[in-house]
Amino acid sequence: MEEYREKTLVIDEQKKITFWQTFFRNKAAILAAIIIVIFLLCAIFAPLIAPFPYDEQNLPEMMQAPSANHIFGTDEFGRDIFSRVIYGTRISLQVGFFSVAISVIIGTILGALAGYYGGIVDQIISGFIDIVSSFPVSLLAIAVVASLGRSLVNLIIVISMISWAGYARIIRGQVLTLKEWDFVEAARALGASNLRIIFKHVLPNAIAPIIVMSTLEIPKAIIVESTLSFLGLGVPPPTPSWGSIMSAGRAYIMQAPWITMSPGLAMMAIVFAFNLFGDALRDTLDPRLNKQI
């Protein structure tokens, strides 16, 4: 029995290695992963990396161009832009990850229930999906934040409320086809309960497109967060967010373009990296493309 287990282990290890090997054979994926890791480190170790506290005003040094001391320059209160952008990473990534995580969970569960049970359950859930997806995203976000108040948690709630519908729709479609397969029938013949069939047999086979989609949704959530912050509906000051830094720098864009450009470039870099990462993931997870990479 012991030797069987060892062999089993070896085979499992090989599987995992091949997945990541295929994934990182894509050069763009390596670049994307590096950028994402850098931003993650910035967010986690912000107090260690940032040379100045994000809210330390230094009026004599206001609106300085980038220099060795302030590598991204300073804003109208003399605050160090680099430090503020680093701290802003925290807000952006938190919103990105948590809103996607929440909407994936809600969307997956509702989509699976709709697809699996069909009938009236499906009609109700699909109705909700249609209603939610017919709202203009930013308008709804503005309305909700305006009524609930400005905070990080509210931002995450708003973005999740809007974006779960996309996941639900995809999962529902996947489940509709998967539930007709004999292996689902086999599980039922073995005495598995409906919930067990959904979570153990159907969802694991439906999850690949969701992984790709959620990677591509993180940058969207980041952009929505910045948009709301830019409009003054994001995290309240003095906590810096990329959108609010840009918004504040907007008035001085001719004299001090670095105030708006720094967070803008940071945002561009992370959105770009997540998109590349998502594309590479899709290529790796799609068995038909596997051979060509």
Partner 1 sequence: MAEKLLEIKNLQQYFPVKGLKGTDGKPAVVKAVDGVTFDIYKGEVLGLVGESGCGKTTIGRCILRLVEPTGGEVLFNGIDVLKLKDEEMRKLRQEMQIVFQDPYGSLDPRKTVGQLIGRPLELHRYGTKEEIRKRTHELMELVGLRPEYYGRFPHEFSGGQRQRIGIARAIALNPQFVVCDEPVSALDVSIQAQVLNLMKDLQEKFNLTYLFISHDLRVVRYICDRVIVMYLGRIMEIADSNELYDRPVHPYTKALLSAIPEVTKERRERERVRLQGDVPSPINIPGGCRFHTRCPQRQEICKTTEPPVKDLGNGHFCVCHFA
DSSP character at residue 250:
G
Expressed in percent and rounded to 5, the helix, strand and coil fractions of the chain are 75, 0, 25
The distance of closest approach from Cβ of residue 105 to partner 1 in the complex, given in angstroms and rounded to an integer, is 20
Q: Which is nearer to partner 1, 120 or 190 (CB)?
A: 190
Contact of 258 with 73, CB cutoff 8 Å: yes
CB of 193 to partner 1, least distance (A): 8
Burial level of 16, CB count in 10 A (0-12/13-18/19+)? exposed
Smaller CB separation from partner 1, 147 or 180: 180
Q: Which pair of structure tokens corresponds to residue 171? A: 């999962």
Distance of CA 37 to CAs 30, 94, 270, 287, Å? Answer: 11, 14, 10, 27
The encoded tokens of residue 45 equal 């170790």
Residue type, 101: A
Using only the alpha carbons of the chain, give its radius of gyration.
23
Q: How far apart are the first and last CA of the chain?
A: 38
Give the count of alpha carbons within 13 A of 266, CB side only.
Answer: 31
- Give the residue with the Cβ less far from partner 1, 19 or 45: 19
Interface with partner 1 (CB under 8 A): 1, 4-5, 7-9, 11-12, 181-183, 185-193, 196, 201, 204-205
Q: Report residue 19 CA to chain centroid gap.
A: 22
Question: Do 178 and 184 form a contact (C-beta atoms < 8 A)?
Answer: yes
Find the shortest distance in angstroms from Cβ 15 to partner 1: 8
Neighbour tally for 246: CB within 10 Å:
21
Question: To the nearest whole angstrom, how small is the minimum distance from the Cβ of residue 119 to partner 1?
Answer: 13
Whether omega for the bond prior to residue 238 falls within 30 degrees of 0, making it cis, is yes
